[in-house]
């Protein structure tokens, strides 16, 4: 097991709260900004038809940032929107294996009037979001890879907050032109690079329960924050798909009182990246996004997530993670 320094961490957060930003008070007296969300979709049960329909119903513009695109239905919908005269802009990840994995979709779309841009080199663009008519933002953890849909746990949310939409579109445009990695705060939006402080602050705000689902567990900062929560009496549950590469980190968590529950890949592949803080009934704070618990995802990649206290979102996220935990086996 890796060696690390133990002990309670003091997590101090100073937030500048602008007019119109919703906030929730934490146990330390700090604040967690949140966004009002219209809906949460749970995969694989929901399917991806709602996103296809969103593209098909667009009237003016579509902007998509995607890590991996291999979905003929979505590709056809994007091409159809361009054919109807809409402005369709797609930003595809190029780093790591992006240029090869996304080559077919890029070629198909480009030949059909879609403005396809390869994201800047040397940065993994792992964010997954879709802007429709600059009035709706769909933010999620799932790639548009059709063969992954049937057995993969992912979440998507609908954000219609005008302030969030302006911020997301500004980042998209900046990333499209490769001009800046700087983002402006807006409500509960959490961006990488640099998402770790916001997630540590969210974890530190827990007073009673923490429900976690993530694909990866390879961040000392996140792991120590979870341990600190358990040590102050918070009931912490971590749900993942069993992968040998994370056993050392998960063993560290289990040894410090965290309830680790693992599913087999035959049961369900946990690709989600979620947090539910003090979620009881419909109250609590939910986080959904693309951010894995790894140094790359937290500190270097382009990622996007959002925190919310919308009751319907909190309730569905809580019940889903609890259900997955009930199906999982202890480490």
pLDDT averaged over 10-residue windows placed end to end, the chain, 331 residues: 38 30 40 93 98 98 98 98 98 97 98 98 96 98 98 98 97 92 88 97 98 98 98 98 98 98 98 98 98 97 98 98 98 92
Specify the residue for token string 């967690």: 32
Virtual torsion, Cα 331, 265, 303, 154, nearest 10 deg = -110
**Cα–Cα distance for residue pair 152/180, rounded to 1 Å:** 33
> What kind and span of H or E run contains 148?
none
Tell me how far CA of residue 127 lies from CA of 59, 189, 247, 264, in angstroms: 24, 12, 26, 26
The structure tokens listed for 63 are: 């902007």
3-class state of residue 247 by DSSP: helix
Confidence at residue 185, expressed as pLDDT on a 0 to 100 scale: 83
**Cα–Cα distance for residue pair 160/58, rounded to 1 Å:** 15
**Cα–Cα distance for residue pair 113/88, rounded to 1 Å:** 8
Tell me the sheet residues that pair with 115.
Answer: 89
Confidence at residue 164, expressed as pLDDT on a 0 to 100 scale: 98
> What kind and span of H or E run contains 98?
helix 98-101
**Cα–Cα distance for residue pair 106/69, rounded to 1 Å:** 9
Delineate the domains of the chain, giving CATH numbers in brackets: 22-32+189-330 (3.30.870.10), 39-177 (3.30.870.10)
Q: What is the SS3 assignment for 55-78? A: HHCCCCEEEEEECCEECHHHHHHH
**Cα–Cα distance for residue pair 186/182, rounded to 1 Å:** 13
Q: Report how many helices (DSSP H) and strands (DSSP E) the chain contains, helices first.
A: 10, 22
Q: What is the DSSP letter of 245?
A: G
Confidence at residue 26, expressed as pLDDT on a 0 to 100 scale: 42
- Where residue 122 falls (left for φ over 0; alpha for ψ -120 to 50; beta otherwise) is left
Confidence at residue 154, expressed as pLDDT on a 0 to 100 scale: 99
Contacting residues for 125 by C-beta, under 8 A, at least 6 apart: 65, 67, 91, 92, 93, 94, 95, 98, 119, 175, 301, 302
Burial of residue 170 (number of CB atoms within 10 Å: 0-12, 13-18, 19+): middle
Look at residues 152, 162, 163 and name the one whose alpha carbon lies nearest to residue 128.
152
Phi, psi of 223 (to 5 degrees): -60, -45
Task: Please say whether the dihedral angle defined by the alpha carbons of residues 93, 94, 100 and 103, taken in this order, is positive or negative.
Answer: positive
């Amino acid at each position: 097991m890796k060696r690390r320094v133990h002990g309670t961490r003091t997590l101090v957060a100073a937030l500048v709260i602008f007019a119109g930003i919703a906030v929730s008070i934490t146990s330390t007296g700090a604040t967690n900004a949140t966004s009002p969300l219209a809906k949460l979709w749970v995969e694989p049960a929901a399917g991806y038809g709602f996103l296809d329909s969103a593209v098909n119903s667009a009237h003016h513009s579509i902007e998509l940032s995607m890590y991996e695109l291999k979905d003929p239905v979505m590709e056809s919908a994007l091409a159809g929107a361009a054919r109807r005269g809409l402005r369709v802009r797609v930003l595809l990840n190029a780093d790591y294996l992006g240029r090869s994995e996304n080559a077919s979709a890029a070629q198909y779309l480009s030949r059909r009037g879609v403005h396809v841009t390869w994201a800047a080199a040397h940065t993994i663009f792992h964010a997954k979001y879709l802007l429709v008519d600059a009035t709706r933002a769909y933010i999620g953890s799932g790639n548009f890879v059709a063969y992954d849909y049937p057995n993969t746990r992912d979440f998507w949310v609908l954000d219609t907050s005008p302030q969030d939409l302006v911020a997301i579109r500004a980042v998209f445009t900046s990333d499209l032109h490769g001009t800046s990695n700087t983002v402006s705060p807006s409500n509960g939006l959490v961006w990488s690079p640099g998402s770790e402080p916001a997630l540590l602050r969210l974890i530190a705000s827990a007073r009673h329960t923490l429900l976690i689902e993530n694909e990866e567990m390879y961040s000392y900062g996140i792991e120590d924050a979870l341990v600190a929560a358990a040590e102050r009496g918070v009931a912490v549950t971590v749900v993942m798909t069993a992968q040998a590469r994370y056993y050392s980190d998960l063993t560290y968590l289990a040894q410090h009182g965290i309830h680790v529950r693992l599913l087999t890949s035959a049961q369900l592949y946990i690709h989600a990246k979620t947090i539910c803080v003090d979620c009881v009934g419909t109250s609590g704070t939910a986080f959904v996004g693309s951010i894995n618990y790894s140094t790359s995802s937290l500190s270097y990649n382009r990622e996007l997530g959002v925190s919310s206290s919308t009751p319907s979102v909190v309730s569905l996220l809580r019940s889903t993670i609890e259900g997955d935990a009930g199906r999982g086996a202890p480490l």
